[in-house]
Amino acid sequence: MSRFRVRRRDDEGTLEVRWRGGARRRYPYVWLRDNCLCPGCFLPSAQARRSLMAQLDPGTGVAEVAVTSSGQGVSVLWPDGHRSDFSGRWLAARCFSAASRAATQEAIFMEERELWGCEMSARLPAFPFEAVLSDGAASLAWLTSLRRHGLALLHGAPARRGQIERLANSVGFLRLTFYGNVWEVRDKSDANNVAYTAGPLAPHTDYPALTHPPGVQFLHCVRQAVRGGASQLVDGFAVCEQLRREQPEAFRLLASTPLNYVDVGTDLCDFHVHSRNPVIQLDEQGRVQRINLNHATRDSVLDVPLRAVRPLYAALSRFSALTESPRNQITFTLRPGDVITFDNWRLLHGRADYVDLRSEQEAGAGNTDGTGNTGNTGDSGDAGNTGDSGNTGDTGDSGDTGRLLEGCYLDWEVVLSRLRLLRAGLEKETRRSASAGRLPSEGGPAGTLG
Ligand code: OGA
Ligand code: NM2
Ligand code: ZN
Ligand code: ZN
């Protein structure tokens, strides 16, 4: 027996489908014709439309509609003799009611976030590094947290270079920028970025100088400083809601004023980068989509009229003060082997200034040539270096002593793609296990699910 009945609504150009349970949904003829799934209109191997817009009549009617012989779908005969079949399940998943559309968009894009303040300290999501690399279920739990809370700590990674590249490759691929695939955060002479000094970094998002800043950031602590270097993380979306409540005019200014950002230098190659990004980027529904804020690369070129300058600074100052408020921050010191992963479109991160052993020695002994650099100009390879002990004689810029973080970026597109594959893979396995009467296994390698 059929699960539903169908009725033509030629007056409004829709097909009405009534499910046995009571749901009644309408589908526009033009949309049905556009989404015909026959092999002539749709290429299954690509899961993509092959029919052309030029061939579509936006005012199309139908010749005949009927429930398919199986009773599981709807069949439409078009005026030109073409036929399209749709399953009830396929139609139900594409219901046009506002509630269905909202639920479907949430399932696809996972925009729902849990906002947090300093209380997050006590419940920082943490996962074992190697498990996340090798186990699909652990990887899914990690990425789900990264999306919902905007951060997740991985612990127990080897305290040597090369680990976040492994991690990024388990997700997909990392995002190349002018700072390279993987970059080293350490105190460098002639630093091409303030991050590459031992100075403090106020809460910021990385790389607002790009029009499309990286969505996700990984930072792996290879060596920590002897003093200082603590990390701060702030939920920028939570801060935005505070500002929206407390100072709606400041919020409006930051959401509507594009700031110039600039980044000039040499790393992977020479670069000269400019962007225009508002500090608070809203989507078309007025929801905060992305924070773009790094005072270090905010341009002195300021494209606002004279009278708008002081109010803009007042708003910037208020926003930054909120990001520096202890009730909004979590602070912790990364230890060698920790990897912090976070949403760079949502969180701001900072660090306290730090002192490395070599700077201490230099301060004590005084450097001999007055350059602040005792002469090691070797490359920054990690060959044979097993840690921070026993190598205190090397006080150069080669990067094998002192605080060292390895960092890299990924695009949200890539991370969300993996998240959907893992989710779909787990659902499939759960269905299979349920029908076999057993519990789902702990999961295979990340790459094999989905
Ligand atoms: C950076 C950065 C954090 C740290 O390199 O952009 O924020 O703890 N580093 O050094
Ligand atoms: N690094 C860490 O916006 C920025 O310049 C953030 C980027 C140098 C790759 C720092
Ligand atoms: Zn077709
Ligand atoms: Zn940063």
pLDDT in tens, 147-174: 999 999 999 999 999 999 999 999 999 9
Query: Given the CA of residue 185, which atom of ligand 1 is nearest to it?
Result: 5
User: What pLDDT is recorded for position 443?
Assistant: 35
Mutate to test the pocket of ligand 1, among 234, 334, 354, 405 (most ligand atoms within 8 A of CB): 405
Atom 9 (ligand 2) nearest CA: 179
Ligand 4 centre to CA of 94 (Å) is: 41
User: What pLDDT is recorded for position 71?
Assistant: 93
Of the listed ligands, the closest to the CA of 41 is 3
**Distance of alpha carbon 219 from alpha carbon 217, whole angstroms:** 7
Helices then strands, each counted (H, E), the chain = 11, 24
Mutate to test the pocket of ligand 2, among 206, 277, 345 (most ligand atoms within 8 A of CB): 206
**Distance of alpha carbon 289 from alpha carbon 281, whole angstroms:** 6
Task: Give Cα separations from 411 to 108, 134, 212, 284, 342 (angstroms).
Answer: 16, 21, 9, 21, 12
Query: Given the CA of residue 177, which atom of ligand 2 is nearest to it?
Result: 9
User: What pLDDT is recorded for position 426?
Assistant: 84
Ligand 2 centre to CA of 207 (Å) is: 6
Residues 6+ apart with CB under 8 A from 291: 205, 236, 237, 240, 279, 280, 281, 345, 346, 348
Angle between helices 136-148 and 163-171 (to 10 degrees): 90
Ligand 2 centre to CA of 245 (Å) is: 31
User: What pLDDT is recorded for position 12?
Assistant: 98
3-class secondary-structure state, position 35:
coil
Structure tokens at 437: 């009467």
User: What pLDDT is recorded for position 147?
Assistant: 98
Query: Given the CA of residue 231, which atom of ligand 1 is nearest to it?
Result: 8
Ligand 1 centre to CA of 39 (Å) is: 52
User: What pLDDT is recorded for position 389?
Assistant: 38
3-class secondary-structure state, position 325:
coil
Ligand 2 centre to CA of 283 (Å) is: 25
Give the model's confidence band at 1: pLDDT under 50 very low, under 70 low, under 90 confident, else very high. Answer: low
Backbone angles phi, psi at 186, to 5 degrees: -155, 170
Q: What is the largest CA-CA distance in the chain?
A: 92
User: What pLDDT is recorded for position 428?
Assistant: 86
For residue range 356-388, list pLDDT tens digits in order. 976 556 555 444 333 333 333 333 334 333 344
Query: Given the CA of residue 206, which atom of ligand 1 is nearest to it?
Result: 6
User: What pLDDT is recorded for position 431?
Assistant: 84
Ligand 3 centre to CA of 56 (Å) is: 11
**Distance of alpha carbon 442 from alpha carbon 316, whole angstroms:** 47
Regarding predicted confidence, which is higher, 197 or 21?
197
Structure tokens at 443: 């999961």
Mutate to test the pocket of ligand 1, among 293, 351, 355, 409 (most ligand atoms within 8 A of CB): 351
Give the model's confidence band at 438: pLDDT under 50 very low, under 70 low, under 90 confident, else very high. Answer: low
Query: Where does ligand 1 bind, in terms of residues with CB under 6 Å?
Result: 185, 195, 201, 206, 231, 349, 351, 405, 407
**Distance of alpha carbon 75 from alpha carbon 95, whole angstroms:** 17
Mutate to test the pocket of ligand 2, among 164, 176, 177, 179 (most ligand atoms within 8 A of CB): 179
Whether 252 has a pLDDT exceeding 90, the answer reads yes
Q: Which of 48-52, 186-190, 298-302, 433-437 has the lowest mean pLDDT?
A: 433-437
Atom 2 (ligand 1) nearest CA: 195
Mutate to test the pocket of ligand 2, among 186, 187, 193, 404 (most ligand atoms within 8 A of CB): 193
Region 87-93: what's the mean pLDDT?
97
Report which DSSP code applies to 155: E
Do residues 4 and 65 make contact, with C-beta atoms less than 8 angstroms apart? no
Atom 8 (ligand 1) nearest CA: 351
Residues 6+ apart with CB under 8 A from 186: 196, 399, 402, 403, 404, 405
**Distance of alpha carbon 399 from alpha carbon 407, whole angstroms:** 14
Helix (H) or strand (E) holding 106: helix 98-109
Regarding predicted confidence, which is higher, 426 or 281?
281
Do residues 343 and 146 make contact, with C-beta atoms less than 8 angstroms apart? yes
Residues bordering ligand 3, an ion, CB closer than 5 Å: 36, 38, 40-41
Region 280-299: what's the mean pLDDT?
97
Atom 10 (ligand 2) nearest CA: 206
Q: What is the mean pLDDT of the chain?
A: 90
